[in-house]
Amino acid sequence: MKFINAFLVFLKGMAMGAADIVPGVSGGTIAFISGIYDPLIKSVSSIDFSLINLLRKEGFASLWRTINGSFLLVLFTGIATSVISLSKLLSTLLETQPIALWSFFLGLITASIFIVAKQISHMAFGRFVLFFGTGMICALSISFITPVGTNDSLIYFFFSGALAICAMILPGISGSFILVLLGNYQTILTAVHERNYLILSTVGFGAVFGLLTFSKLLKWLFEHFKNQTLTVLVGFIAGSLPKVWPWKNELDEFSLYLPQFKLASDQLVHGILFAFLGLGLVVFLEYIGLLMKKSAQ
């Protein structure tokens, strides 16, 4: 992998990690709009027990190429770097600048709906409404679930990691929000800050288990039902918008309100500015992606 490509993948990994920290924002959405979703799913789903025979017969170099190891290593290094370095900053911003941060993600996710929808080939309107509505209803239903209490069992942390990573690779579904619903978000975030390696390794093993199993299902769906899967994902992303609405009373409640629509309102001005910043970032990434595709041809 060339240095410039590796650096871009690393930055995309950091963006995914930053998104995954914030409840309501999906790292899978970032992967989709940055153009690495398909290689991510294919690379992860290629990891199975058959690699043991490949390693014995053809060596480590062949195994590394099969799983696209350089791509995965750089991407997950970016994600880990972001989680470790930005978790405290984003937690602080959620408390001190919630309107600006949520507005940024609102613009980013709104723009990503159109980016993902562009990849859908011709589909009958009725079928589109059916699959889009299914995804949207599922995402909205998750938003209404009441979070459970904290559970400090290591087994619970393991399965929390597995469920969260499945959500993280689904555009529109936030892995962090799943942890909020499971009651473990604050505990795991504290474990990151305090370097609690027992909890972090348990969640990590659960995440690896969930990623390896769920990615195979996603790969099969994209190979056999690509248009339907993409349409459901667009519905997921659209259904997640209320969760990133900047003007809400509580993080874990479906309780939204409208800002004061006055020209001089700081809330409204900041909201609009940062929403357009998020939207502009997606447009910029799409433009860079198109340029890179043309230069590669």
pLDDT 10s digits, 149-160:
667 788 889 988
The DSSP element (H or E) to which 77 belongs, if any, is helix 69-96
Output the pLDDT for position 260: 54
Q: Which DSSP state fits 242? A: G
Percent of the chain surpassing pLDDT 90: 10
Closest CA to 171 of 11, 14, 35, 6: 35
Q: In this model, does residue 256 exceed pLDDT 90? A: no
Output the pLDDT for position 251: 47
How many Å apart are CA 23 and CA 31, to the nearest integer? 17
Percent of the chain surpassing pLDDT 70: 86
Please tell me which of 103-112, 145-154, 250-259 the model is most confident about, judged by mean pLDDT.
103-112
Mean pLDDT of 232-256: 72
pLDDT class for 77, splitting at 50, 70, 90?
Answer: very high
- Angle, alpha carbons 86-94-285 (nearest 5°): 60
Which has more confidence, 25 or 118? 118
Output the pLDDT for position 250: 54
How many Å apart are CA 211 and CA 201, to the nearest integer? 15
Q: In this model, does residue 273 exceed pLDDT 70? A: yes
Q: State both tokens at 171.
A: 């555009």
How many Å apart are CA 167 and CA 211, to the nearest integer? 10
Mean pLDDT of the residues in the chain: 81
User: pTM for the complete prediction?
Assistant: 0.70
Q: In this model, does residue 38 exceed pLDDT 50? A: yes
How many Å apart are CA 128 and CA 126, to the nearest integer? 5
pLDDT class for 78, splitting at 50, 70, 90?
Answer: very high
Mean pLDDT of 1-18: 85
| Residue tagged 């041809």 (tokens) | 297
SS3 256: strand
Q: How far is CA 115 from the centre of its chain?
A: 15
